[in-house]
Structures are given as structure tokens and as C-alpha cells.
Structure 1
Amino acid sequence: MECRSYQTCLTLYCRSPRCYEDLQKSGFLCLPSSRLIQIYKNKVSQQAGIQRHALEWMRNEALNQNLSTEGYEGGIIIDEMAIQEDLAIKKGNIFQLVAFVQGNDESFSMQKILTNNNEIQLANHVLQLVFLGSSGFRFPFAHFPTKQISASELYLIFRKAVKMLALYGFVVRYVSMDGAQTNRDFMKMLLLKNKKTDTLQSMLVTNIFRPSLPKISIIMDYSHVVKKIRNNCCKSGLRSVHNRKLFLRSSLSVWDHWVQAFQWDVSENPYPIHRKLTHEHFFLTSESKMRNHLAEDVLDKNMLHLMSCYRNSLSDATKSAELRGTIEFLQQTSVLVKIFRDRRPIKDYGDDRLQQNRDVLSWFKRWEHENKSNNEVTEKEKSLLSFQCREDIVSLLVGFDEFSREKLQKSGGSIIPNRINSDVIENVFSQQRGLHNGNNNNPTYQH
């Protein structure tokens, strides 16, 4: 069987192992067995750390796909997945015990000096690094079993990853990650002098190994930023369970505005204005809070249109005025959703979408300044999005703008905004969870 045929079978198997087995057993198509597909998948041994054979595999895949020069430029997407603390045995020519914490030698040496402890620990997280090229090429080139990695360890891993990728012809132009505290500390370590985003003017980092290469932009992950904005909104209200009161344009913007607009749409309109909304969008659980589309649906242009229609339906002028701040807020978030889910390429730094992003950033900064200088607002921090959320918005918009400027003005090419997010690494995690006996919500290091 040709290599491409095996790759197609492997893609089908990773999507759903059970469906692949049913298709193979049906005899409708002559397909290799699941066991043979697993052998093909594990042809390159998956070892923790940044391995040269994995990078060679990555370079060979790029050559097979005839990537252009632009395809070798891209970003590193970083994320962590929780796993069970469970010792596992890896079979092969020799048996190995795996699932222990592994990282940089420098980190282990420093930890040993600080704690005077040389005990080996079981990992409870896996750190995954994925390279995402500008042309769409993607490759998970390294992983590390960790015990919730620290910012200093992440710093060393990232610097080594940039260096190793450059040795194999890949140029890192940006790094994207979620807004976890460790990642924000890592961001501040990279930026050194600019540790506070309220004075931050740049999210660019010099490539210390090859300063002649383009600078690296730090871009906070869009998907996590949108979910964080939504989570701040759902915490805004007048009940005891709410710990935030967003204050906009002399009125409160509370989660009840979203709920009431949805209920009005369902009860009054035979054909809903916003067809995607369900109760799951507004009555969130710990699981539903992680779904990207539930956050985007309550912050996009359709939600803005629904809120405007709901406001026009109110006969009470006072209640109608209360929605003014919420509508203005949705005008900004709908721009973010529209641009960062846009599949059309940005080919010029003068693109209107980049200017719209700058306008949104200016609006959020202006809102913060107005509330902090308003003597009528007593709890100023609670009247705004959380500091972490505001920090992530700055990183997302400033980092993306600088990445666009560095790439479009100096090296040319194009940028597709829809690709600059962590969806690719979440897909890797989903595939890993589904490789053995269906989707596993509590995986081990090996399974």
C-alpha cells in the first residue's frame, strides 16, 4: 500500500478508532487492520522532550508536502493537558517505566539544589508543543510530562524549541498560549522590562540564538480570551452569587441582559433571531465553560443584533437605557469574533481588520480609564473585566498587530486570522484521548 493510503487510513483511525474498525470489518473497503495502523503510527518512537528524530520526521513531512518558504515560518502553540498520576510500562525491544516528570536538565539540577530532594515524581500534566506554519502545516513536535510546569521551566523549553526548530529550517514568528498564570509569568520573563501591560507598548521578543531572524510576537490565545471575557460577563450581576458589576456608560452591564434577551427571543418570535442560542449558553457548567462556540455565540454579531432588537421592543425607556452599555460592549466583542474567525487572508498591513482591532483595544483602554477616574464608581476593579482578562486582551491584540506588521512589511506573504489560535492543539488532545477505547476524559500518560 502506498504511503498516502496509509496516511489516509491513519487520519480516519485518529478521527474515530471504532468507526475505522467497523469500516475495515465490513469489507466494503480493503483496509489494513487497526493493529497495523498503530504500528505505522508508532514507527517513530514518541519520547518525551524535543527529539531530533521527531524534528527529522517533521522536516520530511514538510518536504513531502512541497511547502513554500512561507510554510516553514509559523508559530509555536503551547498548552497543557491534565492526566492521571499513573505509572505505565512502555513495551518495545525493552520494557520502560514511563509517566515520570521530565523537563530540562537545568530545571532538575536547580530543583535538587533548592529542595535537597532527588525523588522522582509522577506527572499529572502533559505539556504539548505544536508548530503551526503560515500555510497551515502543523506538527506536534514535542511533549513533556510535568507536574504543572513553572514559568522558568517553560522559558527554557521554549528557548530550546526555537533553537532546535531553526536547525531544521523552521522559523518561529510567534508563540501562542492560554491565559494561565504560569503562561503570563512566562510572558513577563520574555518581555523582561515591560512587566505590566498597562504600560506595555510591545509584545515582541528577540530571537537570542539568531538576532538576524524576525522577532517573535507573543499572542495570547484568542479562544481562551473569548471564554475569559464571557466568564467575566456571567459573573456580573446584582445577586449574591455574582462577584462583579460591570459598569458601562452610566449603567450596569449584567448577565441577566443576555438571559432576558434570549428568553424574549424564544417566547416572542416564532423564528428566533439568534438561532444558535440554547439554555446551555446561559446556564453554564464547568464542562460547558470550556466550549469555544458557547462563548463566541453570546459575543458575536448575532448576539449584538438580538440585543438591539430586544432593546427596541422595550416600552420602558429606563429599561431600554440600561442596555446601552451592554450593546456597546457587544459592538467590540463582535469585532473580535468576526476578525479572529475570518478565513480570508490579510495581505497588507493597511488592512481594515487590523485597524478595527486597534479601535477595539483603544475602547477597552478607554473604558478602564473612565471607570478608574470616575468617583461615582466605588469598587473600580469589580466594575471592569478582571485584570488578567484585560492583560490577555492587550497581549492578543498588540501581539497580533505586531506579528502582522513584522511579517507583512518585512517578509511579505499573508496571514489567515482563523489559524492564530489553540484549536489545533486542542484537536491533538482530543485525538489522543480517543485513540484507545473511545474518548477518555481522564487519560494516563500512555493512554
Structure 2
Amino acid sequence: MIKQKRRYFSFLFVLPLLVVFLLAGCQLQDQFNAAMSRLAATQSVAGPTLEATKAATSEATVIATAAQTATAVANSTLVLWVPPQFDPNGETLTGKLFNQRLQQFEASFPEYTVEVRLKSENGRGGLLDSLSNASLAAPATLPSLVLLQYRDLESASLKGLIVPLDEDTLNVIGQNWLPYAGQLSEIQHNLFGVPFAGDALALVYRPAQTPYPPSTWQELSTQNLPILFPAADPDTLVVINIYQTAGGSLTDENGEPHLDTDPLLKTFSYFSNGAQSGAFPIWDTQLADFSSSWSLYQQQSSGYAIVWASQYLQGQLPGNELTSLPEINGQKITYAQGWLWAIPQGSSQSLEGARHLLDYLSEPEFVDQIDQLAGYLPVYQSGLDAQTNPDLKATLSELMNSAQPLPAGSTINSISPIMESSTLQIIKQQIDYIQAANAAANQFK
């Protein structure tokens, strides 16, 4: 029908021309014949040209749609940055469980593909360093989610490298988190992280030698078995922990660094007593991190070690037990840290996809299994309830009930140099502890 209408229309158009040509005389005959020939040629291809155009248009549409689909698929890749111990491609049980969970996510959300990239825990090229550099120089390379230690989460939030989390759009917020885990998730009263694995300072001992370890710092510091801890730790976490347990404050009413004289005197007296009794041996002054104290403890046959609970849980030694740090005047405090999921600020990847994945990786049953397999403290109440060893369960419960987040990094940086210097001198018996306490407190007045 389309072709017939075109011929009828063309004939009506040509008829007036024919009359003109006839009146003009025979000399126009040849021109008329040529015009008719061109018209016939146009008529013969008019239909096929239209259909060819339609076909070409249809083909172009398909190509464009395919290109758009390919682009959409490429834009639906979700990237995770994690430390090596959570490598989903590793041969550990933790890695296999993590990998299985990611596969389940991709099956449930086929519009997304997950890529995992390993970053070292700290230092150059580590998680925080990479996050800082990418945010500044290459925002397009930022991941959808990053797994950060608590101290790095604090630093990243203060630098504006991660976004505050919205409780209204995330299903995982506050789902039976243990109290210490809920505290780790907040920086300056704003929610920035979703807890994935926990840790806390604890005391390891040998029950064969000490069936009932001392329950107070006074008792522990006056016995003669060595207590291994990193006295040369730049953050002096053990020293500051004892100071806070003794009732000391780290800041004044204006939020400025501050040390109270009486709690400081009590703290330094323990190190003085221990230096004389052998509880704090001279080699403590050569230990700069908890890995060193844990390694030395494993090589010895007696004593105690102050370590992160994860160090014990990840390589439980036969004949050793874990307990919480001692108390002072009925008060018991330990420092907690952990690994938390965060969403980078300025990531070009799908925010909706990041939230789906965050919900999926924070499901309590999965996290409980990961924490137990990887040797970390549970962050959910269900994880503690699932502990089958009654003695260990009681210890972990006591440990987490006394746990609080590490002090603010800025405060530690201000106070730790004088605390470290004083502690080293006291253990080496180079200075009187009263003199050291007064001098340290006066620096912040």
C-alpha cells in the first residue's frame, strides 16, 4: 500500500510538467523522457529505501541499547578494600566463608559484581593511606566499602574521608551490638562505622603456675613472675589504661590534655614496685609493640603477658588462659578496638549498591561465624551467646563488659611521650616514681 500511494502521488505531480513540455515543443522531448526515467527509478527504490532505513534504525537502536547495557554493567561493580586476614580468595576458613558470602550477594543482586582488593593494615599503601591518596588525587578509584581499624576510622572521619551513616537507610544499625561495639561505631557522637570484628587488651597467664591470677594491679605488681608488655609502645596504651582505671582523666573541662597527680602517682607506683619485685623486668623497656610481648611470652615458660585478645584467640597455646586486666578500687577498664565497615566520601560507585552490600556483610549470623573463625571478639550479642566453651564465654563477657574505645588519637599523641619516658625511667630505676608523677602532671598545668 505504501508503494502504490507513492506512484499515484508521483503521477499527479508529473502531469503538469507534461503539458508544459508539449507546449514547449519537440526540443524538450528528450528532457522529458530523461525526467520520466529518473522518476521511475525513484519509484522503484522508494519502498525498499524506507524499509532499509527502518531496519538500519532498528539495528542502530539495538547497538545503542547494548552499549548502554554494557556501560550499566561496568558501573555496577562494587569494590571492597580489606586487610589480608579477611582475604576472600585465601585458603583460610575465614576467607572461604567470606568468599561464599560474596557469591551469595551476587546471586541475590545480579546487577552487581564485587571486586576485592587487599591493602595492608597500616603504613604506606595501607588502608588509611590509600584512602587519603585516592580521595585527593583519584576519587574514581575509591571503593564502595572499606574495612578500617577503629583508630583509622577516627582519623578518616575527622579528615572527611568517610561519610556519616544514616540509620534510616541501613538495616544493620544497632542490631544487638554489644555495648563496646556500639561505642566503636561512633566518632564524636556521629555514626561512621559498622562493627565487623572486635578486640580488647587482656592478660594471658599459665594456670599451672598461677591457678588464680591476681585480681588487682597492686597484687600483680608485687608478685615476682614477669609481666610482659610493650613499655616502649609509642602510644603507651597499658600505662594510660592503668592511669584511667585508677580514676585519672585525660582531658580537662575545656577538652585540653590533662593528667591528674594522684592517679598518676598510683600508676607509677605499680611500675616502681614491679621493677623491684621483678614483675616488670628490664626487657619490657625494649618491647615496642604487642606482637613483641606476645612473641617473647611464647618463648618463656613463666609469667604473664598483656596482649590483644585476638593474639591469644588466633593461636591458643596449650596450658594458657585469658583473663581481663586487673582492677583498681573495684574499677576495671580495658581498651577496645576493632574492624568496622565505612563508606568513602566521594566514591563514584553506586551508593545504593554499597548499602545493599553493607547490609549483607553485616548480617549477624555471618559476622558471628567470621569473628569466631578469625579469632576476634564478637560484636553481636548472638556471637557471645554462640560461644560453646563456658569458661571462655565467661571471660569474654567480663572482658567486653569492661571495654571502652581507645582514647582519642589527638589526646594520646599529646600525653604518650611523657608517659612513655617516665615509665621507661621508672622500670630502669633511674628516677623516683613520685618525682616522675609530679613532673608529668606539671607539664599539663
TM range (shorter): under 0.3
Looking at CA atoms only, which structure, 1 or 2, has the larger radius of gyration?
2
Q: TM-score, normalised by structure 1?
A: 0.23
Greater helix proportion: 2
With CA pairs under 8 Å and 6+ residues apart, which has the higher RCO, 1 or 2?
2
